[in-house]
Amino acid sequence: MGPDARNQPAAARLSGGRRKCIMHVDMDAFFVSVELRTRPELRGKPVIVGFPGERSVVLSGSYEARAFGVKSAMPMAVAARMCPQAVIIEPRHKLYYEVSAQLMAIFESVTELVEPLSVDEAFLDVTGAIRRLGPPREIGELIRRRVASELGITASVGIAESKFVAKIASTRCKPDGLLLIGPEQTVPYLHSLPVGALWGVGAKTAEVLARMGIRTVADVAATPVSTLRRLLGAGGEHVHRLSWGIDPRPVTPVRLEKSIGAEETFAVDTSDDALLHRELLRLSHRTAGRLRSSGMVARTVALKLRFADFSTITRSRTLQAPVDSAQLIYAVAVQLLESVGHRAMPVRLVGVRAEQLEDTATTSVQLTIDRRDENWRAAEQVLDEVTRKFGSKSVLPARLMEPGGGAG
């Protein structure tokens, strides 16, 4: 079967009925860009967002820092060696989620079909918005202008007939760009790319394919499906379809947040229960603050422990009523910690996560009959307001101000 015949399913899909127009909108170095709004003097310089501790990791790097090899999730110690002149900014997760909510509101003003992938990127099906807002390129530029003017950050937009190709387009036009890959351009464009551009083809898969002389997307397209199945198993057919731009998945609106949480790696592994309890309290406040700023409550609280040998365990508990109070989250986290029992190794990392999220607009927060729960929640809402005005370290629970109360 020749290439033209193999491409017929895509051609038939694209020619039948109204053609889809899908965008992938992705912010450029999101955390860094948000921080530079209030620190414009750092524009054009290498900047890293992350905690400065040696055992912390990079959350985001400016493109100037990336030029030195700095990448997200890289240990901060490694990043500091690669780019010693970089300015390190501690992250403000609450702020990032607030900006993310504003970003998603811009998307939803364009189309109801928005599928968030993370705090700073989403797929948009704008097929139905073309008659109202104009051609796809104009819609993409409208989104970019609004993100720049209303949020003070930049976005890259990929436009195509499928999610897969739109994602490739946004990646290829970063930073601060727009790339439209039309129907007639799709296959030629894909076939000009290395095989690693295909979803599901990581470094190991690329090595397997390279041993068979398959190094480009065009090579994959020219390889019989039976051969790809033999090499890659069930994923072989999937990869082959992508090589011809065939990706029929619709844009499916989903809630951005499936869970909200925080975790911390200790500067020194610890078995000190008092220190673990203080850190759980700190993380519970961070988690609860992010819940309230996102307008959400949680029905499940989860605890994460990573030990000195990097083994990791999680424990969770589902509550009778949803919560957004740090004290209630903390109480459950302590119970979960106690349920672990004897720990043979010291703890390297501890985390608290709120799961099974619900929108407070449609869920009533039912507290226990203990009046203290209501008092705690009211106090934390006041703390939110103070934090908004004066910063996250203006007011802290007394226990978190004790010497040695923090992690590295």
**DSSP per position, 290-341:** HHHHTTEEEEEEEEEEEETTS-EEEEEEEEEEEE--HHHHHHHHHHHHHHH-
CA distances 109 to 26, 138, 156, 341, Å, are: 17, 15, 18, 50
CA–CA gap between residue 244 and residue 8 (Å, rounded): 9
DSSP classification of residue 19: P
CA–CA gap between residue 41 and residue 34 (Å, rounded): 13
- The pair of structure tokens assigned to 257 is 């947040």
CA–CA gap between residue 322 and residue 290 (Å, rounded): 15
Catalytic residue among 35, 64, 115, 121: 121
Instruction: Residue 111: name the closest of 126, 96, 130, 100 by CA.
Output: 126
Binding site for Mg(2+): residue ranges? 26, 120
Instruction: Residue 329: name the closest of 360, 358, 302 by CA.
Output: 302
Query: Contact, 336 vs 318, CB < 8 A?
Result: no
CA–CA gap between residue 125 and residue 195 (Å, rounded): 27
- The pair of structure tokens assigned to 67 is 């030029």
CA–CA gap between residue 74 and residue 233 (Å, rounded): 32
121 is catalytic: yes
Dihedral in degrees, nearest 10, Cα atoms 339, 344, 346, 348: -70
SS3 content of the chain, % helix, strand, coil (to 5): 45, 20, 35
Residues that are catalytic = 121
